[in-house]
Amino acid sequence: MMQITVQTTINSSLAQVWECWTLPEHIVNWNFASDDWCCPAATNILQVGAEFHYTMSAKDNSFTFDFWGTFLDIVPHQLIEIRLGDGRSMKVTFEEQNEGTLVTETFEAETMNSEELQQAGWQLILYNFKSYAESQAQQL
């Protein structure tokens, strides 16, 4: 299966980036690709074998779905490996660098949408995360 990778460097500490990535009260603020979508609810039990569930919803309520997965491996402030609800694998790494924290997501492509569309959508969500995490860092 084809692997897709997206990444960005966030001008924030590794601890702050990890918190924004993993805590539901933060996830609902960034987990969508465009302004006409939102994430009205998120649960995240950050333990191997546990699940996360993110409600993804069009703001006009025309479409809603549960994006979910099971945690396979967790190394705090470094790595999260997931089996998505549809069976695909996903890995997220967090690396402290001079210019901030590098977040890299690698996941198996699904077959309903083109690889380009998937890469673009996931990259937009990651850019949304970057904006949110950097705004949180400025509030500290």
pTM for the model: 0.94
Query: Going from the N-terminus, what domains does the chain have, and what CATH number goes with each?
Result: 3-138 (3.30.530.20)
Question: Mind listing the pLDDT tens digit for each residue in 29-75?
Answer: 999 999 999 999 999 999 999 999 999 999 999 999 999 999 999 99
128 band by pLDDT with thresholds 50, 70 and 90: very high
pLDDT score, position 140: 59
The C-alpha atoms of residue 72 and residue 49 are separated, in whole angstroms, by 6
Q: What single letter denotes the amino acid at residue 15?
A: A
Nearest to 97 by CA among 22, 26, 17, 30: 17
Residue recorded with tokens 């491996």 = 73
H or E stretch covering 128: helix 115-138
